[in-house]
Chains A and B, each alone.
Chain A
């Protein structure tokens, strides 16, 4: 067995196993951690097929940022496990339905992919093996799909502004620290020397 085959079976089996454990484990934090393991090994699979840029982005964005925030939220939840288990039977039919639909879609997609009589070579993204992955992605994004890419960026910007507008609130009666004011302050505006008489005190 070559190193590549060994790595493939290692990554693939861990992805499947940790995916299963994500939904099977009782503790939500464990679920998230299994999910992170699944992400990480999926990145390994991407590396094996030569998509190193996507693999690193998967680790940086999903494992390094999204999943951390996810974990952050789940860790702070106060979870009643008995209630959680009671919910399972209630939502089981619905969950099974969703799973069934997803399974049917996957089977359909793979079936069409394998048995349709359209030229296979037309369905593949043509990649020049000479140029590195990042450059290929960059050329596609900033060349052929420039407008779509900019549109997606604009959409994300709008979403971000929307989220900020929805959650931002002006609170009155606050005296926030103004660091530049504090740095600019000099001793002669902040202090003064006085010599009050006995029992007189000073004027503030």
Chain B
């Protein structure tokens, strides 16, 4: 597509137009996916709590998210008088933007990636470490006690869990030998027994996959780690003073992050767009290899999203000191130990003693 536009627009402009179109091709379906995933989350949560969940708007309540969006859009944006106006309005925009930018490097299928950069994983780490700013700025700019507490909690929590996430990613990078996400997926092809396409079934990486799954829940501040918005302690946390579209942007950003983390779980440990078994018919049974890749990736993302919702509906919220203990005293030594173990193993296997 880039070549097509460069053909008549010149090199720079053609690249710009093509990339803009590709960005929209990722961002717009993503927004739709976020709306539907909010509905799915509420349905799963309701089913586990033996309720019906949203069932009024549209068939099976499918249009509930759009109705909520419309409602929120029509409401008044209230800015507290003592709030720091500029920062108060920028904070939800930051959260939302950061949730979208990391999708640039996610491979959706064979050669289907917006930016195939060789530091893709570092880029994702960088983008997810920016996510904390939306929350911190919102909490501070609200000029209210509960949001401020929430902001402090969020800052400490995300910084803590990023440490162990970093080590977990190192384990994957050592096996794949690259930071490029497409390269990591390619390295998973036939990784276990020569025909299972996933790092996750490797006994040395499986514990890391579990640590990563739990850490991503903490990183996105989902239940059971949603201490930033613990309603029994902090009202609604950093969102307390927000209303209307600024509130909706937080909401969208949060679910965008959740989807991103599900995609990362799928890409890094469970083969991304590869089918689970390395068997030729599984690569192209849906018209083209690209569509099949999309199918497998989306299946895995939805599976992980189901796990996220399931955990949210069943596990009670952590206490703050337990959260910190889990991050620093359990996950950090565990992941560090596995980095040493895996690097030692790979040294013996690949280089020899």
Contact = CB atoms under 8 A, between A and B. Distances in A.
Partners in one complex: yes
Interface of A: 2-3, 29-30, 33, 36, 52-53, 56-57, 59-60, 63-65, 68-69, 71-72, 75-76, 132-134, 179
A52 B126 CA distance: 12
A72 B132 CA distance: 11
A24 to B, nearest CB: 16
Contacts of A60: 122, 125-126, 129
Contacts of A69: 155, 159
B274 interface: no
Interface stretch (B133-141, B196-204, B292-300): B133-141
A56 B123 contact: yes
14 contacts: A29-B140, A52-B117, A56-B119, A56-B123, A56-B125, A64-B129, A64-B159, A68-B132, A68-B155, A72-B152, A75-B151, A76-B152, A134-B179, A179-B325
B126 A59 contact: yes
A72 B119 contact: no
A65 B162 CA distance: 9
B16 interface: yes
Contacts of B151: 75
A37 to B, nearest CB: 10
A65 B133 contact: no
Interface string B107-124: 000000000011100110
A69 B136 CA distance: 11
Interface string B127-164: 00110110011001000000010011001101100100
Given A60-B125, A68-B136, A75-B140, A134 B159 contact: no
A59 B179 contact: no
A97 to B, nearest CB: 34
A69 B162 CA distance: 13
A179 B151 CA distance: 28
Contacts of B118: 52, 132-134
Given A72-B152, A134-B118, A179-B322, 5 more contacts: A64-B126, A64-B162, A71-B155, A132-B118, A133-B118
Contacts of A59: 126, 129-130
Given A65-B159, A69-B159, A56 B140 contact: no
A71 B16 contact: no
A162 B87 CA distance: 38
B347 to A, nearest CB: 13
Contact of B119 (A53, A65, A76, A179): A53
State the 4 A-B residue pairs at the shortest beta-carbon distance, nearest first: A64-B129, A59-B126, A56-B122, A132-B118
A75 B153 CA distance: 13
Contact of B130 (A64, A71, A132, A179): A64
A36 B137 CA distance: 12
A111 B283 CA distance: 61
Contacts of A133: 118-119
Interface in B204-256: none
Q: Is the interface of A mostly helix, strand, loop or mixed?
A: helix
Interface in B144-189: 148, 151-152, 155-156, 158-159, 162, 179
A5 B140 CA distance: 36
A132 B156 CA distance: 34
A132 B125 CA distance: 19
Contact of B137 (A2, A33, A64): A33
A63 B152 CA distance: 16
B12 interface: yes
A29 B84 CA distance: 11
A64 B158 CA distance: 9
B15 interface: yes
User: Of residues B87, B123, B129, B156, which shows the largest number of chain A Cβ atoms within 10 Å of its Cβ?
Assistant: B129
Contacts of B87: 30, 33
B129 A52 contact: no
B257 to A, nearest CB: 15
Contacts of B137: 33
Contact of A3 (B16, B117, B123, B125): B16
A3 B15 contact: yes
A74 to B, nearest CB: 9
Contact of A71 (B122, B136, B148): B136
A56 B120 CA distance: 10
A75 B15 contact: no
B119 A3 contact: no
Contacts of B132: 64, 68
Contacts of A63: 126, 129-130
A75 B126 contact: no
A76 to B, nearest CB: 7
A3 B12 contact: yes
